[in-house]
């Protein structure tokens, strides 16, 4: 494996786990987190899955821009759905569905080619490849 040349490092600190607080070292993020009601929490606050979905969607959008060539990405949209589930009583996991709208692509097939190319270069996709199920499709 190639050695990563670090260009940027994001730092976040959590106290209290899923029922706690997160903040970044630069103060750009600073808020409480809560477990979703769907898994027995109080809800009403963001959670790690939403944060992961937001980060993945934004990162995938950047990767799409890197591979789009002459295709306009105006009005494009990347939706990341992060699913939290379990394999057994004490074994949890994630899966991700990425849906990409590219209104100015020549065709749905062309849009899918761009999505596939973005999926190959996106850092989040690289980090999750082989670890969790990720589907990426043009819609």
| Residue ranges covered by each domain of the chain | 1-46, 47-138
Q: What is the mean pLDDT of residues 9-25?
A: 97
> How large is the C-alpha radius of gyration of the chain?
17
Kindly tell me the burial class for residue 82, based on how many C-beta atoms sit within 10 Å of its own C-beta (0-12, 13-18, 19 or more).
Answer: buried
Count of beta carbons in the 10 Å neighbourhood of residue 118: 24
In the CATH hierarchy, which fold is given to the domain comprising 1-46? N-terminal domain of TfIIb (2.20.25)
The yes-or-no answer to whether 1-46 and 47-138 have a common fold is no
Among all chains, which residue has been given the structure tokens 């050695």?
3
* Closest to 47 in 3D by CA, of 34, 37, 28: 34
* Closest to 19 in 3D by CA, of 47, 39, 38, 50: 47
Q: Is the pLDDT at 81 greater than 90, yes or no? A: yes
Q: Label residue 112 by pLDDT band (50, 70, 90).
A: very high
In the CATH hierarchy, which fold is given to the domain comprising 47-138? GMP Synthetase; Chain A, domain 3 (3.30.300)
């Amino acid at each position: 494996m190639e050695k990563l040349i670090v260009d940027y490092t994001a730092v976040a600190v959590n106290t209290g786990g899923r029922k706690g607080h997160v903040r970044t070292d630069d103060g750009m993020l600073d808020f409480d987190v809560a477990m979703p009601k769907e898994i027995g929490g109080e809800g009403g606050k963001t959670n790690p899955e939403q944060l992961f979905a937001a980060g993945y969607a934004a990162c995938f959008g950047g990767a799409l821009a890197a591979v789009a060539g002459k295709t306009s990405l105006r009005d494009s949209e990347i939706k990341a759905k992060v699913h939290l589930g379990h394999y057994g009583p004490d074994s949890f996991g994630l899966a991700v569905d990425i849906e990409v709208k590219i209104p100015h692509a020549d065709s749905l097939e062309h849009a899918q080619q761009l999505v596939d190319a973005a999926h190959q270069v996106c850092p989040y996709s690289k980090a999750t490849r082989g670890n969790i199920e990720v589907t990426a499709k043009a819609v």
